[in-house]
Structure formats: C-alpha cells, structure tokens
C-alpha cells in the first residue's frame, strides 16, 4: 500500500496539489466560516488517496478520523489500517444446502460494519428461490417475509461482495478509489471516492451500495473497532461494500467475519485459500461448488457449495 | 542359608504386592469420589487417548437440560433395566424422532453408567465426545465437522477455534432443524426516503 | 492581449443588447437556472436521496440526459464533414453554428455529470497529475479526456474564427483546417467512448452488445442535426442570418440516412434478443412490453418508435422533406424520439431488472427534473449567448470600430419577428439609430 516507490512517483502530483490547495484555501476562506472544525475540513478535503499516504500522513489521517468519530459517537473509536497478512488470500464458502434464509447474517453484518440504519444499507441480500427452478434469478424473491423459514419448496441464496479476483468494479473507477488488496479483499477509500457510481453499474452482484444521504447510526449501536478501509462510518455520497470484515479478519489471530459467526445453521465458511488445511480449501476440494455468474470471468473468491 | 533366601524373597514379593495394591487403590480412588460415585472428568482422560489419533476438539459444555446432569444423581441408586420399553415415570417429555423404529435410549446411553454414552463397539465415551456417537451413522457429517465444514466453528480463522457439539444445534432425540422467524425484509427502494416515517415497514 | 480584452468587452456589450423577445427569453432561462441552482443546493445538502435513483437503479435522469447530449454534441461534426472535407459551400457558412451547439451541449454534459456525482467537492481527484485519473483503465477517465478535448477544440475553433472575423481578418487556414479535421475524430470518439462506457459492462446485458457504439453514432447523427435544422429555421426567421434551403435540405438528407441506419441497428438488436430468447431478453422486454406488470417505459419507448419511424418517412419522401412545415415537424419528432430512446430508453433498462433481477421502476423525482431543467436552461443560455455574439459577427453587424479599439454593433435587437425585421431593415436604411459604438474608455 503506502510504499515509498509509489510515493516518489507522485511527488510531482504533490507539488501541483499544493498550488491547488493554496488556491482553493483562498477561495474557501471566503466561502466557509473559520470555525474550529474548518482545519479538519480542509485536511479532509486535501487528503491524498489511501495508497499514496506515507506513514506519517497515514497516522495523521487515522488520528483525525478517530477524533472525529469519537466526538460524534461519544465513545473511544479506533480506526486501524492493518495491512494484509502475508501469504493469505481470503475465501468464503456458503452452503446452499444449509441456508434457511433467516437473514441473521444481514443484520449481524449491519451491526458489525456500522451500516447506515436510515436510509437503510445492507451489504447482504438474501434471495428466496424455487427449488424447482434452481438458481434462476428471474424468480428471485428479495422481500420474502413469511412467519417462518425455510418455506416448503424454497431455497435461499445470500449474495454479498464476491471479492472477485478479476473485479469489474475496480477497473472502471475513474479515480482509483477502489482496488483489490493483496489478500484479495476489494476495498473502497471512502475519502477518495467521488460518488460517480460507475462501479455499481459494473458489479454483477449488486454488492456495492451508495450513501444516498448521510447515514444515521445510533451512538449506542456504533461499533468502535473500525478499519479505514472497512467499517468506519461512511460520509454521504460515497460507495461502500462488504470487506470480509477486514477489521476482524486481518488481525492475528483474526476472528471470523460477523456473518459467519452469527449464522445459526453454520452455512458460512471462511478461511485462507492458500492454506491447504483450511476449511475453505477442504470444501472447494471435496464439495460440489459453484461460483455465481461464472461466465463473466469475475473469478469470485466466494464459493457456493452443497455440503450434502 | 536356604531359609534366609526364602525369607528375603517372600519379603520382596510382599513389598511389591503391597506397592501394587497401594498404587491400584490410589488409581481407583481417582475415579470415584467419597461416596464411591464415578467421576466422569477423570475417566475422560483415559478415553481421550483413544479418540481420533489423540486429537480432541475443544467444545463448550454439552447442552444438558437444567439440573439433569450428572444422571447418576438419580440413576446410581436405581436398578438398571435393559428392557426395551416406553418410559412413563421420567423422561416422558423426550420424544424420539430420530430413527425411532430402530433404537431406544440404551443404544446410546450407557446402561451401566448413565453419565456416559456408549458406542456400538461397547466403548464408553463422555458426553463431551458425543460427536463420535453421532458419527457412527453420520460419518460424512463427522468428517466435515472435524474440518469445520459441517456445523460452525467460532473463534479465530487463523488461531484457536471452538467447536460446537452436534447436540448444540441438533436435539439428539429430534435432530432436524426447527423453522425460524426471519429477520425483517429490506426496505424497498421506493420507500427508502420515507423510511423514518414508516413505523413498521411491512413488505411481502 | 489588449485586442482580446477589447473583443471580450465587445461581446459583453453585444449580449446585453436585444429586443424585448430576447430579454424575455434570457430572463426565462435565467429564472430556470435559478430554480436549478436552488434545487441543486438542496441536493448538495441532503444528498442524492432527493432523486429517485437507488442502489437498484444507480444512474437515472442525469446520466440519461448526459448520454443524449453527448450525441447532440458529436453531431456538430456532421456539418463539418461536408463543409470542410468536401468544401461544400452552403454548409460551410453554418458549420460554425454546429460547433457552437457542440460547445453548449458539452457544457450541459459536464453539468449533468457533475449533478450526478455524490461528491462534487472531490472533482479534483479527476484532474490528471493533481488527482488520479484512472487512465487508460476506466472508460469514464477516457470520457473525461475526450469530452474536455472536444470542448477545447470547438472553443478554440469557434473563438479563433469569430475573433478574426471581428477584427476583419482572414482566419489562418493552416491553423484552422487541422483543428477542424481533428474535431471529426474527436466528435466520433466522444460518442464512441460514451457508448463503450456502457458497452464494457458485462454485468449489464442490455448494454453489453457490440452494436451499441454504432447505434449511438447513428442516433446522434439524427438528433444533433435535427436540432440544428430547428435552430436554422429559428435563426433564419428571427435574425438577419441567411441560411439557404439547399443547406437545410442536405442536412435533412443526411438525417434520413442516419435514421435508416439507426432503425436498422435497433431492429437487428431486437431480433437478436427476441429470437435467441435467453435470460438477457428481460431488459428488452421491460423496455418494449413490460416485465411482471412493470411497464413505466413502455408508452415512452413506443412513442419514440412511432416518432422515429414517422420522421424517417418524412425525411425519406422528397415531397415532405422539401416542405418546410413537414421538415420542422419531422425534426421535432426525431429530437423527442431520440431523446427518449437514447436517454431513459438506453440507461434505465440497463438497471431494470437489476443484476439480481430485482425490478425497481425508476421515474425521476421532481427535484431531479428541476435540476435537469436548470441544466438545460444553462445550456440554452450558453447557446443563446454564443449565437448572440456569433451571428452578428458573421453578418458583419458586430465588428471592431474604425479606430481599431472600440466595437461597432449594428444589430441591437438580434431577436425579431420577420415583420419587425423588415421594419428594422427599413429603419437602418435611414441610418444611425440601430448602430452604436463602444469606446476604449468605457
């Protein structure tokens, strides 16, 4: 990420930015009242892309964000920028023969990842499908709400970011605000995204979500353990998505993603695809597996499987 | 001369025998408490050696009904009755819905010691290893369970993991999953901007 | 430098003069612009939630208008080709108006894209070397490049040409011609790149058809020139600028060819989808016949179809084409038809049903439409101002004064009805009143 060589490359860009900074600050000084907050507003405005930040700058950014969030949510919030673990490529397995469509994962994710409660943003969408028709989306029911699940003759297919090896969303971004990390997680720099939503048009899985308004997140429900590229509170007008709970899974030892942890039927599996002894490797090698929309060559690292 | 040899020999044999008795008694003491009741935890040590090439699986305590364990609290004073029958005085709340035509209580519960389970081979296992009992029929599930693909492991994907026993999710007497009430459906895009004004969005 | 400043002062002077009709028109546009700005401030404040776009349909009315207007902008080239490549004189004189339209349309395009951004404050991330323009990976980066290149090109050509006419100099052909020739591939590229922007998304089968770029070009060559013909009729009727029937007829003929290709390609696409009858048919069904009872676009697209086919017939049959009333009618039909087809008709079915086959029927919100109207008003305002400067210059009614410093304006009214025009001409025979001069001291 913030390696030195890429930093040198942008030295020129930096000097240009200074000119712009001076110019805009001059104009902005007229437009914005000089409150205490204005310094951090300008710092945020001129913040570089995450991948161009050097260590000092990164620490400043993290400290600024921690301060802002701690104040806003009335508790000590940490914003990590944990790097990928060497030799790890995350993979996810979802057992369609087990999933009962109870949506516990949807809400577990919302709570862990500080999604906006209003307007509602959910990173996982569970579809109810007919067993007779198989994975035929034209019969998918997204808003099913029976008293009990599973329903007779139905099966359930949760969809979230498939963390593609060949992600169509990152290449379309006009400003490189989204990219695939070395551990395979596709992330968004919420402070760099311009909100053009081209990535949303490009994603075949409806995995990207837009902050149509400034999200409401109750203080008491805010999860203070956050990652810069993951579950920190998002500003209005940017795109967000599942990160395999980057704030959990990049730790050593790293907890399972919230959706996997909360699943009452154990349908969700997670692990390191480069580790031959991991459960994800076992299920890929031993179970009937399919990847969603295989023909699009997105090469998901999210594997739907049938344990039975 | 001869007599001394014999005396010494008998003394040595006597000492060894005494030692053996003492050691045996101490060993036996380990398995029973003051009242002579078998202590499950101690016995487990012995069985663990045999389980899965020395591998054991960290599990939380088995999900016993409240105040029911140890079973020997009641069963110690009762005459074991191996007669296949319908239970009437006790445990009548347990409805076997699990290959009920083919088995009854003592196919799995140990006749001689209710605090343990019994495999078909006759091997006695503690409740904490009940997965081995289930695995007798559901071998494929046991195999998947061990690698974390059947059931759920919690903890750390790259560190210590905690397993759940089969019985944590499946009632052994009636193992199939019970339906759940689903969490609310997402807000429809049409209503996203008036989400707040809708007290309880009900969608079908 | 001083000359440029004097020229600039002259243009300001000329734009604030005009007939009552001109003032009304400008005031009307300004009022709409104000409404647009106020609504946009609300959007900045509340976020894009005030639109009806949602995750399921993440692009809507703004991007639809953008797409259509890229076509209009590209179409200016249709006038440049015969004028400068084939040296066809009748069009040469009016090709400049096409370039002015291109400038206005591109400005509208840029405004629509800006209105669609969630974080317009971060626009600078798109500036190469200052921010990070993801070139050549992202087609949107390409679009930013070619749109700005095309805008610059047309601005340079138009301003240079008008500036020289103003100072009564002959524009340097060696400078103009290469730029004009470059504007042809530039025009084609803005539309091709915009088509590729959609085309490259495998997730959206409705767009992921190789016929998309040619269809874009064909429809652009209908809508842009149709708008030009309407402008020509207006300009001819309400200003002193002369435009021959010959030129208009030529353009009309070209529209007929383009519309034929457009309809043919559309037919080819409809055939392919319906005959192969795969899951990828769904968006086409949604557009043309409705899907699972959702049919918001159906009446619109059939209106567009009928308009396009009717217009095609009008332009194809020589008798109707030569009838000016029919021609104007045809142009309106084409403009509206292509606006529907290449706007909402192209963008929305890309999202309906969405990638998980959810159907969200998108209809723009009132605020969205007000912002769009504000942007259209801005574009028309820019175009009006450009015409206000360009037409008198080309007529010789606005040029540098005798002293070589001030300016002379002989067309103070600009916007007049024909009957008034005759009076105006008679009046100017009697001299002086309609002519005014600016001075350096001002």
Average pLDDT of chain C, as a whole number: 90
Answer whether A197 sits within 8 Å of C59, measured CB to CB. Answer: yes
**Most trustworthy range by pLDDT among A63-72, C180-189, C226-235:** A63-72
CB contact under 8 A, C49 and B192: yes
b/e map of C134-163 (b: 16 or more CB within 10 Å)?
beeebbbbbbbbbbeebbebbbebbbebbb
C49–B contact, CB cutoff 8 A:
yes
What is the structure's pLDDT at A55?
95
Asked whether residue C377 is assigned to any structural domain, the reply reads yes
Write down the residue that tokens 């599996």 correspond to: A269
Instruction: Give the model confidence (pLDDT) of C341-363 as tens digits.
Output: 999 999 999 999 999 999 999 99
Q: Which chain C residue shows the shortest CA-CA distance from A51?
A: C132
Q: Are residues A66 and A94 in the same domain?
A: no
CB pairs under 8 A between A and B: 117
- CA B41 to chain CA centroid, nearest Å: 11
Rounded to 5 degrees, φ, ψ at C135 are: -105, 135
pLDDT recorded at residue B27: 64
Round to whole Å and give the CA distance between A194 and A187.
15
Residues B99, B103, B107, B111, Cα dihedral to 10°:
140
Mean pLDDT across A59-68: 96
A172 vs A189: CA distance, rounded Å: 15
Nearest-CA distance from A135 to chain B in Å? Answer: 20
Taking alpha carbons only, the member of B152, B176, B182, B167 closest to residue B117 is B167
Percentage of chain C with pLDDT > 70? 94
Of these ranges, A35-39, C175-179, C437-441, the one predicted with the greatest mean pLDDT is: C175-179
Contacts of C197 (CB under 8 A, 6+ apart): A198, C139, C140, C142, C143
**Other CB atoms closer than 10 Å to residue C179's CB: what's the count?**
16
Q: How many residues belong to chain A?
A: 308
Q: Is C281 inside any structural domain? A: no
In chain C, % of residues over pLDDT 90 = 72
Q: What angle in degrees, to the nearest 10, is found between the helix axes of C245-276 and C212-238?
A: 150
Domain hosting B159: range is 50-177
A100 contacts in B (CB within 8 Å)? 177, 179-180
Instruction: Render the burial of C353-365: b for 16+ CB within 10 Å, e for the rest.
Output: bbbbbbbbbbebb
- Interchain CB distance below 8 Å, C129 and A12: yes
Residue B170 confidence class, pLDDT cut points 50, 70, 90:
very high
With an 8 Å Cβ cutoff, are A119 and B150 in contact?
no
Dig out the tokens for B34 from the structure. Answer: 């003051």
Q: What is the mean pLDDT of residues B24-36?
A: 60
**Are residues A68 and A201 both part of a single domain?**
no
C-alpha dihedral over B96, B98, B104, B105, to 10 degrees? -70
Q: Which residues of B touch A (CB under 8 A)?
A: 144, 147-160, 164, 169, 177, 179-188, 192-193, 195-196, 202-204
> Total domain count for chain B?
1
Report which of residues B117 and C89 the model is more confident about: B117
What is the predicted pLDDT for the residue at B66? 85
Predicted local distance difference test score (pLDDT) of residue A15: 56
d(CA B1, CA B8) in angstroms, rounded, equals: 11
Distance CA C94, CA C79 (A): 8
Examine the pLDDT at A126 and tell me if it is beyond 50: yes
- Residue B165 tokens, joined: 């026993």
pLDDT for residue C442 is more than 50: no
User: Of B197, B195, B199, which is closest to residue B187 (Cα–Cα)?
Assistant: B195
State residue C298's pLDDT score: 96
Residues A165, A200 within the same domain:
yes
Distance CA C425, CA A125 (A): 71
Range of the domain at A39: 4-76
- The per-residue pLDDT for A122 is 98
Do A70 and A83 fall within a single domain?
no
Among A76, A111, A135, the domain boundary falls at A76
- A88 and B149 in contact by Cβ < 8 A? no
Chains that touch B (3 or more CB pairs under 8 A): A, C
Q: How confident is the model at residue C429 (pLDDT cuts 50, 70, 90)?
A: very low
Residue at token pair 């179409």: C75
Has residue B172 been placed in a domain? yes
Closest CA to C142 of C195, C63, C207, C104: C195
C367 and C50 in contact (C-beta within 8 Å)?
A: yes
Domain for residue C270, yes or no?
no
Whether residue A68 is found in the same domain as residue A102: no
pLDDT tens digits, C368-424: 999 999 999 999 999 999 999 999 998 888 999 888 888 888 888 888 776 666 665
CA distance A30 to chain C (A): 16
Domain count of the fold of chain C: 1
Contact predicate A81/A59, CB 8 Å: no
Nearest to B157 by CA among B146, B145, B148, B144: B148
Q: Same domain for A53 and A182?
A: no
Helix (H, G, I), strand (E, B) or coil at A298: coil
Phi/psi region, residue A114 (left: phi>0; alpha: psi -120 to 50; beta: rest), is left
Find out whether A123 and A207 touch, Cβ atoms under 8 Å: yes
Q: Which domain holds residue C196?
A: 2-243+363-417
Residues 6+ apart with CB under 8 A from A267: A94, A95, A96, A98, A99
pLDDT at C91: 75
Q: What are phi and psi of A295, to 5 degrees?
A: -65, -15
Verify cis geometry, omega within 30 degrees of 0, for the bond prior to B70. yes
Whole-angstrom distance, CA of residue A227 vs CA of residue C236: 64
What's B162's DSSP letter?
Answer: E
Segment B134-144 shows an average pLDDT of 94
The SS3 of residue A79 is: strand
Domain membership of residue B34 (yes or no) is no
- Chain segment A227-237, per-residue pLDDT in tens: 999 999 999 99
Domain assignment present for residue B141? The answer is yes
Distance (Å) from the alpha carbon of C137 to chain A's nearest alpha carbon: 6
| Residue at a domain's end among A53, A76, A99 | A76
The Cα C222–Cα C252 span in angstroms is: 9
**pLDDT at residue B11 in the model:** 81
Q: Using alpha carbons, select from C3, C385, C388, C14 the residue that is nearest to residue C164.
A: C3
Pairwise CA distance, residues C219 & C308, whole Å = 10
Beta strand spans in C302-420 (E): 398-400, 407-409
Counting as contact any 3 or more CB pairs under 8 A, the partners of A are: B, C
pLDDT band at B145 (very low <50, low <70, confident <90, very high): very high
In a domain, C9, yes or no: yes
Q: What is the CATH number of the domain that holds C212?
A: 1.20.1630
**Does any domain span residue B5?**
no
pLDDT tens sequence across A139-153: 999 999 999 999 999
Q: Answer whether residue C145 is part of any domain.
A: yes
pLDDT at A209 over 70: yes
Residue in C closest to B195 by C-alpha: C49
- CA distance linking residue C308 with residue C334, whole number of Å: 6
Q: Which residues contact C82 (CB under 8 A, 6 or more apart)?
A: C88, C91, C250, C254
Residues A200 and A89 in one domain: yes
The answer on A82 and A71 residing in a single domain is no
Provide the greatest CA pair distance for chain B: 111
Element (H, E) at C24: helix C20-46
CB neighbours of residue A126 within 10 Å = 27
pLDDT at B18: 79
Residue C327 domain-assigned?
A: no
Banded pLDDT at C436 (limits 50, 70, 90)? low
Residue with the bigger pLDDT between B18 and C123: it is: C123
How many domains is chain A built from? 2
Which domain-ending residue is among A50, A76, A102?
Answer: A76
Structure ipTM: 0.91
Cβ–Cβ gap C360/B190 under 8 Å: yes
Q: Is residue B92 part of a domain?
A: yes
Among residues A303, A264, A270, which one has the least CA distance to residue A287?
A: A303
- Give residue-wise pLDDT tens across range A245-258: 999 999 999 999 99
pLDDT digits (tens, 9 = 90+) for C292-314: 999 999 999 999 999 999 999 99
The residue-averaged pLDDT of C423-437 equals 48
Average pLDDT over residues C124-133: 93
Highest mean predicted confidence (pLDDT) among A205-209, C230-234, C397-401, C428-432: A205-209
Angstrom distance (rounded) from CA A167 to CA A204:
10
Mutation target to probe the A interface, by most A beta carbons within 10 A, among B59, B138, B152 is B152
Question: In degrees rounded to 5, what are phi and psi of residue C208?
Answer: -80, 50
pTM of model > 0.95: no
- Tens of pLDDT, residues B43-83: 555 444 444 444 678 888 999 988 888 898 888 888 888 88
The number of residues in chain C equals 442
3-state SS class at A52: helix
Q: Tens digit of pLDDT for each residue in B171-194?
A: 999 999 899 999 999 999 999 988
Average pLDDT rounded to a whole number, residues B123-150: 94
Instruction: Tell me what pLDDT residue A36 has.
Output: 54
pLDDT in tens, C20-38: 999 999 999 999 999 999 9
How far does C123 lie from chain A, in Å, by closest CA?
Answer: 7
């Amino acid at each position: 990420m913030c390696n030195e060589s890429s930093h040198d490359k942008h030295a020129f860009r930096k000097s240009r930015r200074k000119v712009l900074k001076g110019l805009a600050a001059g104009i902005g000084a007229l437009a914005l009242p000089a409150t205490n907050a204005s310094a951090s507003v300008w710092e945020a405005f001129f913040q570089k892309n995450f991948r161009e930040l050097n260590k000092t700058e990164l620490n400043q950014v993290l400290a600024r964000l921690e301060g802002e969030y701690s104040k806003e949510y009335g508790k000590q919030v940490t914003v990590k920028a944990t790097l990928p673990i060497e030799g790890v490529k995350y993979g996810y397995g979802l057992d369609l023969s087990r999933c009962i469509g109870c949506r516990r994962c949807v809400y577990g994710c919302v709570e862990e990842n500080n999604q906006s409660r209003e307007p509602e943003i959910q990173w996982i969408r569970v579809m109810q499908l007919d067993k007779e028709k198989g994975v035929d989306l034209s019969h998918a029911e997204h808003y099913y709400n029976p008293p009990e699940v599973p329903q007779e003759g139905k099966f359930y297919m949760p969809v979230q970011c498939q963390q593609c090896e060949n992600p169509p969303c990152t290449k379309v971004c006009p400003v490189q605000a989204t990219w695939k990390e070395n551990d395979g997680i596709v992330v968004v720099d919420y402070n760099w995204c311009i909100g053009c939503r081209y990535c949303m048009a490009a994603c075949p899985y409806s995995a990207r979500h837009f902050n149509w308004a400034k999200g409401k997140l109750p203080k008491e429900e805010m999860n203070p353990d956050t990652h810069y590229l993951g579950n920190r509170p998002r500003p209005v007008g940017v795109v967000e998505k599942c990160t395999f709970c980057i704030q959990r899974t990049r730790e050593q030892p790293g907890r399972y993603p919230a959706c996997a942890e909360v699943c009452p039927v154990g349908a969700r599996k997670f692990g390191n695809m480069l580790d031959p002894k991991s459960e994800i490797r076992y299920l890929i090698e031993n179970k009937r597996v399919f990847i969603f929309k295989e023909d699009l060559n997105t090469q998901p690292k999210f594997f739907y499987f049938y344990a039975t | 001369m001869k007599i001394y040899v014999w005396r010494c020999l008998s003394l040595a044999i006597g000492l060894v025998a005494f030692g053996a008795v003492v050691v045996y008694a101490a060993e036996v003491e380990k398995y029973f408490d003051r009242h002579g009741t078998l202590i499950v935890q101690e016995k487990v040590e012995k069985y663990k050696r045999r389980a899965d090439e020395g591998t054991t699986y960290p599990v939380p305590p088995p999900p016993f009904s409240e105040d029911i364990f140890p079973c020997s609290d009641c069963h110690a004073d009762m005459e074991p009755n191996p007669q296949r029958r319908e239970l009437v005085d006790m445990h009548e709340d347990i409805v076997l819905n699990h290959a009920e035509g083919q088995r009854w209580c003592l196919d799995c519960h140990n006749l001689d010691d209710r605090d343990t389970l019994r495999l078909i081979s006759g091997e006695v296992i503690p409740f904490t290893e009940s997965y081995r009992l289930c695995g007798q029929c559901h071998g494929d599930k046991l195999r998947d369970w061990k690698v974390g693909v059947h059931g759920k492991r919690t903890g750390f994907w790259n560190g210590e993991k905690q397993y759940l026993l089969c019985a944590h999710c499946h009632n052994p007497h009636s193992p199939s999953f019970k339906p759940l009430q689903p969490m609310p459906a997402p807000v429809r895009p049409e209503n996203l901007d008036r989400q707040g004004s809708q007290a309880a969005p009900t969608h079908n | 430098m001083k000359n440029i400043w004097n020229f600039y002062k002259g243009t300001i002077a000329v734009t604030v003069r005009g007939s009552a009709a001109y003032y009304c028109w400008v005031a009307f546009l300004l009022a709409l612009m104000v409404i647009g700005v106020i609504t946009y401030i609300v959007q900045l404040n509340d976020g894009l939630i005030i639109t009806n776009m949602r995750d399921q349909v993440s692009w809507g009315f703004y991007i639809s208008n953008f797409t259509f207007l890229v076509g209009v902008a590209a179409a200016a080239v249709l006038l440049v080709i015969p004028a400068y490549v084939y040296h066809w004189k009748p069009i040469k004189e009016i090709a400049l108006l096409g370039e002015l339209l291109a400038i206005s349309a591109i400005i509208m395009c840029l405004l629509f894209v800006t209105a669609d951004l969630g974080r317009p404050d971060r626009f600078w991330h798109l500036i190469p070397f200052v921010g990070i323009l993801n070139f050549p990976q992202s087609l949107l980066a390409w679009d930013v490049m070619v749109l700005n290149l095309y805008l610059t090109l047309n601005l340079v050509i138009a301003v240079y040409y008008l500036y020289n006419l103003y100072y009564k100099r002959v524009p340097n052909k060696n400078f103009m011609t290469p730029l004009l020739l470059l504007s042809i591939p530039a025009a084609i590229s803005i539309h091709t790149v915009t088509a590729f922007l959609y085309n490259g998304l495998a997730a959206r089968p409705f767009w992921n058809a190789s016929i998309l770029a040619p269809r874009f070009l064909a429809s652009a060559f209908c809508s842009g020139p149709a708008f030009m013909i309407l402008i020509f009729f207006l300009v001819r009727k309400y200003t002193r600028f002369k435009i021959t029937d010959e030129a208009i007829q030529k353009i009309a003929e070209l529209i007929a060819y383009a519309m034929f290709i457009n309809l043919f390609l559309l037919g080819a696409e409809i055939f392919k989808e319906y005959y192969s009858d795969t899951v990828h048919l769904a968006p086409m069904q949604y557009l043309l016949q409705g899907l699972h009872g959702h049919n918001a676009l159906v009446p619109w697209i059939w209106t567009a179809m009928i308009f396009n086919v009717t217009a095609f017939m009008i332009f194809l049959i020589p008798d109707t084409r030569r009838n000016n009333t029919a021609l104007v009618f045809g142009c309106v039909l084409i403009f509206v038809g292509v606006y529907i087809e290449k706007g909402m008709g192209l963008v929305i079915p890309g999202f309906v049903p969405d990638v998980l086959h959810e159907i969200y029927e998108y209809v723009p919100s009132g605020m969205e439409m007000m912002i769009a109207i504000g942007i259209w008003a801005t574009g028309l305002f820019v175009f009006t101002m450009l015409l206000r400067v360009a037409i008198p210059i080309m007529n010789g009614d606005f040029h540098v004064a005798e002293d070589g410093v001030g300016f002379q304006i002989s067309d103070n009214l600009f916007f007049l009805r024909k009957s008034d025009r005759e009076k105006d001409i008679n009046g100017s025979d009697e001299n002086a009143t309609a002519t005014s001069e600016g001075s350096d001291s001002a």
